[in-house]
Structure 1
């Protein structure tokens, strides 16, 4: 079993840039497989706290541009994989995203993966001038363009949300045909998206029974696309280490179900607390 670290909330509300660098270097040194960065663009003045996961959203946490932060991380690490966990696809034009993905993969020498999802915060969509209601369709169309460009194709795309005349990006990513696309989400629409576009998935922590049911549902969508669930890279994310600790004796069963990586996604009050928690997690599970 591999372990990754989401660094979005681990360092508290006011980390310095050097704290981020220290965290990722420490994570690499103690044996984490990957570093992930979540994606919010701004703090809305108000938002609907009844909408999941708004109830657990901490607006005071720093929300970095994931592509910029990971570019910095690429320059101070050597082996740890780097990924968005997850990037909200409709927030950024697809051609610009494809260029950022390809550049990150180039600069990290093939260590990047693209975690992609639809997002959930209506107010953030509205602030960015992106229609919220059509976010699923827009995500699918953007993914079509991103995958095509990353694969070196020049095909145009004409959808209900975007018209793209075609073109090339250069340099292309190191990984072929493109960096892994890890789809976030677990609704039926998300499962269909995983089956159609994903090289893997990123979902919240599940009990073994819950995971078995989800994989069963996903298998139907995968079969519709001529694919099998075993071909996917599977990430489970846990914000609460107690969930992982309680299942410590069952990790072999999670692996037997195909889970490749557990993403430790903690929230702490200061850089010192966060870095110590990362070390403790490594001591306990590695």
Structure 2
């Protein structure tokens, strides 16, 4: 199965990462930033997840880590994703609020369901839940979760969340968690639950997207990989008896110094490529090129104007 391009001229929904890490890590500025971004015309606002930055990590950041610089220095200062989204939810009206992405397996499904349901209600049903496996094993060790079997743990997490969001009473018995039959009075605003998007850049990850998720959190990569991996998700959805046409793609673009995409203006050709591929949702993360929150808003304005 191959990707069916959307009609030419299909609207591109442009999202923006909230100020959460590095020089932009200012929880007190999130409300002001979110309000301005929505007023500019951004249709979604996003957070990421970084739990730990060890001095000598076992794994290099897949987005360009080296032994000398194993991960971006911006990761050393990282605000809580739930608090950041709650601050944005309080001051916005229409922008969707997403996660790209939580390291799903390190979270307890019971506590996670409570937090996510609360966010969905606080935003009047604007939450997109995003999960990935992460890449740094020290984050697993620090949260008391084994690195091995993380894919199975994510599958169990999805099953448990589905039960907690839709069951009455809710219960779950899986390889990782047992949740006794329980009354859960807090229900999501979106029915039957908030959309779940999954990240990943391997065929098994994309097969999971097709089988389990509402869409793929994609990263910028050569066109042949974007289309090839997407075909894996579409085929998996069809085999699972799901409609492949309902799957979403959210393409993340990180302008970064020293690369071909360094400024807001450099992102515009990427947006054209996204349109050509039939992608209608793009997330731009300005943390690596903005000096502070005000500069990020200035760059965001340039993006919209371009």
Task: Please say whether Structure 1 and Structure 2 have the same fold, judged by a TM-score greater than 0.5.
Answer: yes
Q: Equivalent residue of 1:218, what SS?
A: helix
2:111 is aligned to 96
Equivalence for 2:90 = 75
Q: Does the CA-based 8 Å contact 1:48-1:54 persist in structure 2? A: no
- Per-residue deviation, 1:35: 0.5
Equivalence for 2:101: 86
Partner of 1:246: 269
Distance, in Å, in 2 between the alignment partners of 1:231 and 1:100 is 26
Matched, 1:178 2:201: no
Which of 212, 225, 232 in structure 1 is aligned with 2:227?
212
Q: Take 1:145 and 1:19, find their aligned partners in 2: how far apart are those partners?
A: 34
CA displacement 1:153-191 (0-9 Å, x = unmatched): 434322222222232322201100101001111212211
TM-score, reference length from structure 1: 0.89
Instruction: Assess if the C-alpha contact under 8 Å between 2:96 and 2:127 holds in 1.
Output: yes
88, 111, 114: which one aligns with 2:129 = 114
Deviations 1:194-242 (A, max 9, x none): 1222011101013443322122222221122112321111101010283
How far apart, in 1, do the equivalents of 2:88 and 2:13 lie? 20
Alignment of 1:16-35 (within 5 A): 16-35=26-45
Q: Are the structure 2 counterparts of residues 249 and 60 from structure 1 closer, same or farther at C-alpha, using a change threshold of 3 Å?
A: closer
Which residue is 1:166 aligned to?
A: 181
**Equivalent position SS for 2:228:** helix
Aligned-partner SS, 1:40: coil
- More displaced stretch, 208-217 vs 45-54: 45-54
Matched residue of 1:44: which SS? Answer: coil
Query: Matched residue of 1:201: which SS?
Result: strand
Residues paired across the two proteins, number: 280
- CA-CA distance at 1:60 after TM superposition: 4.1
Cα deviation code 1:63-116 (max 9, x no counterpart): 222112111211111111111111111121001111111111111111111011
Partner residue of 1:5 out of 2, 16, 22: 16
State the superposition RMSD in angstroms. Answer: 2.1
The two structures have a TM-score, normalised by structure 2, of 0.84
Match of 1:273 in 2: 295
Structure 1 unmatched ranges of 5 or more: none
Asked if the contact 1:12/1:271 (under 8 Å) is kept, the reply is no
1:263 pairs with one of 283, 296, 299: 283
